[in-house]
Homo-oligomer: A and B are copies of this chain.
Amino acid sequence: MNALDGPSYEDVALARERIAPLVHDTPVATCHALDRACNAAVFLKCENLQRTGSFKFRGASNAIACLTKAERERGVITHSSGNHAQALALAARLHGVSATVVVPEDAPRAKREAAAGYGARVVPCPPTQADRRDTTRRLIEESGAVFVDSHDAVAVIAGQATAAVDLIESAGPFDVLLTPVGGGGLLSGTTIAAETLVPSAQVIGCEPEGADDAYRSLRDGKRIAEVQSRTIADGLKTSLGERTFRILSEHGTRIVLVSDAQIVSAMRFVWERMKLVIEPSSAIAVAPLLFGTLPVGGKRVGVILSGGNVSLDAAFAAMYPGLGSR
């Protein structure tokens, strides 16, 4: 037993029971045009339709469900570019726990506002990882709140893993499972779920070329803790954590890199053909199928569409000038 061990599959199964009363049973979508594009059978788990608009609600709900009474009374705190912040805010409210979220100033407005809308105290900070941590540390010292990490906490990883469990249960088995990778919570959880449920499946993380710390960390066997990220996938700017790096290293999880242009094309494909609003961080896991970067011919492929929180200000202003702004 190591302090950096991930959750076991039993922990994932427990998380699933714990959060079942709260999470949406999101649909699994299919698309003829996508299947044709990659000559495979693709099943997409619509976590953009999850509460708070992303899978992050699973991990946050499990983390809060695991707190002791004394911890609940202290309240919870996190830093997040957005989706984990919203997720923790709602999960906390549903458990009657107060929440503080530290959000970088460059996070999409829609994500910041949503966290506040769920009743959390939103504290802005400069956009670097170091600033996020410093601001959070200061607030913890002041308030005694319990920190719920966005990706490296065991309870959070176990919660994120439940998306893959649901997907496999309703549409499995799979030969390939694709998820985005930022901090690595979803990818680690999916790896752990797959190990037990579809042991022969290849689990692959999709990462922006402009934020390729996971790719380089796993290739070199050494975690890059800070990355100068340049990508439109705002949810994937976080580096792997110590625990997620360890889980992914041990399992030999593979990473594919995706350009921003491919992310936008895949995002547009999903909006246009599947009528689903997904964010860039989700489209990244569709891109390798559309552009042939990943040969999957004849295979059964599962994809986690991680979220749909994207600011629509520019889109509506452009589509309906004079009508589209609020």
Interface residues of A (CB under 8 A from B): 27, 29, 48-49, 53, 110, 232, 260-261, 264-265, 268, 271-272, 274-278, 308, 310, 312, 314-320, 323-324, 326
Contacts and interface: CB of A to CB of B under 8 A. Distances in A.
Given A27-B27, A232-B323, 11 more contacts: A49-B275, A232-B320, A264-B316, A264-B320, A272-B277, A275-B278, A275-B308, A277-B277, A314-B319, A315-B316, A318-B318
A27 to B, nearest CB: 6
B272 A275 contact: no
B27 A271 contact: no
The main secondary structure of chain A at its interface with chain B is helix
Give the number of copies in the complex.
2
Given A27-B27, A277-B277, A312 B272 contact: yes
A323 B271 contact: no
Given A261-B323, A320-B264, A53 B315 contact: no
- 10 closest A-B pairs by beta carbon, nearest first, are A318-B318, A275-B308, A315-B315, A275-B277, A314-B318, A264-B323, A48-B275, A264-B320, A314-B319, A261-B323
Contacts of A275: 48-49, 53, 276-278, 308
